[in-house]
Amino acid sequence: MDAQQPGSSSVDELVEQLRARVEERRRSGAYPPGLEHDLDAHYRHVAALRSGGRSIRERVDAVHDAAEFAAENIATSSRFRGGSLLHRLVAKTVARQTQGVLSQVRSFAQAVQDVLEAMVEPLELVDQTAGSAVSQQLEILHALIASQQQALNAQRADLVEIIDRRVREARPTDVAEAPFEPWYESERFEAAFRGSRRELLERYRDLTQRFAGCEPVLDIGFGRGELLQLLDELGVAAKGVETDPVLVKLAAERGFDAVLDDGNTYLRTLEDGALGGLALIQVVEHLGAQELVDLVALAERKVRPGGKVIIETVNPQSLYVFARSFYLDPTHLRPVHPSYLDFLFREAGFSAVEIEWRNPPKRHEILQEVPGDDEAARRINANVANLNALLFAAQDYAIIATR
């Protein structure tokens, strides 16, 4: 029987018939809603799975290799005794008939091969075109997703900013955050409550000696400039930083090097190791908790090894301070415990930290011992000492930290 060998025109006709049938079924509503979407998803899945498999051309070549029909390929072996001889005798007898069957099988196989060959090129073209289209669609989809994500991120940031602003506007204003702009001059305030310049020069003369050989020194919050004057007398180069423009102007008029700036902000502008010393006299009680830890970290970087940092502040271990001086200054935020300040400098890596107790209350203001040496007097005086240590300890303390 002769096998018909269809050409490329018959394949084209089949494709056109298939397209017409699909279109007809689409118009008649035979395809359920969402079918194209599901088929598209399925196609992407199949395309991903087949990306590592054999191509259409490779599969057709494999069919061609397998379609090798010959009489000698017919097995004549047998597991029965004498079976192989019998097979060969039968093969010779029906050889002509066998050859005819093989000839028909070859003709059929060739026809199938021709059909497959005719289909390879258009199928490969469809595969490449579809793959390219899918890739383009995926790139467009990724770009759209990225654009939407950027828009969402921008909207989220705007929303967070709006909520944050509304929260700040709604909550009560913290006294510590509100700007303090008094109509009186800071120099007049210091003269009224800290003492005269002469008194402060005498009070800080011994502390200034600690900076001998440590220059330059930066005095943060220099006030009326007593420490700057003492450092100048000692021959140690120094500069002052203040946030009060009036105090900066007065210091400049006295011939001191003074700048208007926040202490931490100015420290950040300096190169590491640029300072030999750093002084803060009655300053840290004006700082917030974060400002203080930032200050110590900056001091560790900006003061060179062997240099010194001296901080004097009120002593919260003396209850006398709270009754007499701490709340006189409306800009005081909180006292800093000496143990905490000592801890900060040691944690920051300073080689030595010492505490010096300063400015004790006047003797006539503390509790006095009772006269006598008997048991009752000794007990009373022991209690007086304990009370004096709690109520009338030194009003200030100084941290002297060596870098």
Poorest-pLDDT segment among 52-56, 119-123, 333-337:
52-56
At residue 39, the pLDDT reads 57
At residue 175, the pLDDT reads 46
Q: Are strands 217-220 and 238-242 parallel, antiparallel or unpaired?
A: parallel
pLDDT per position as a tens digit, 4-38: 444 455 656 766 776 777 677 777 776 666 656 66
Amino acid identity at 375 = E
What is the average per-residue pLDDT within 269-293? Answer: 96
Poorest-pLDDT segment among 78-92, 174-188, 326-340:
78-92
pLDDT per position as a tens digit, 207-254: 999 999 999 999 999 999 999 999 999 999 999 999 999 999 999 999
Note the maximum CA span of the chain. 149
Domain ranges in the chain?
A: 8-160, 186-402
pLDDT-derived band at 88 (thresholds 50, 70, 90) equals: low
At residue 94, the pLDDT reads 53
At residue 1, the pLDDT reads 45
Q: Is 209 exposed, middle or buried (0-12, 13-18, 19+ CB in 10 A)?
A: exposed
Homologous superfamily of domain range 186-402: Vaccinia Virus protein VP39 (3.40.50.150)
Q: Are strands 275-281 and 258-260 parallel, antiparallel or unpaired?
A: unpaired
Distance linking the first and last C-alpha atoms of the chain: 106
Q: Considering the chain, what is the average pLDDT of its residues?
A: 79
How far apart CA 340 and CA 42 sit, in angstroms, is 67
Map 36-94 to HEC letters. Answer: HHHHHHHHHHHHHHHCCCCCHHHHHHHHHHHCCCCHHHCCCCCCCCCHHHHHHHHHHHC
CA-CA distances (angstroms) from residue 288 to 69, 103, 169, 175?
Answer: 95, 101, 21, 12
Nearest to 241 by CA among 214, 261, 215, 268: 261
Q: Please say whether the beta carbons of 258 and 241 come within 8 A.
A: yes
Percentage of the chain surpassing pLDDT 70? 63
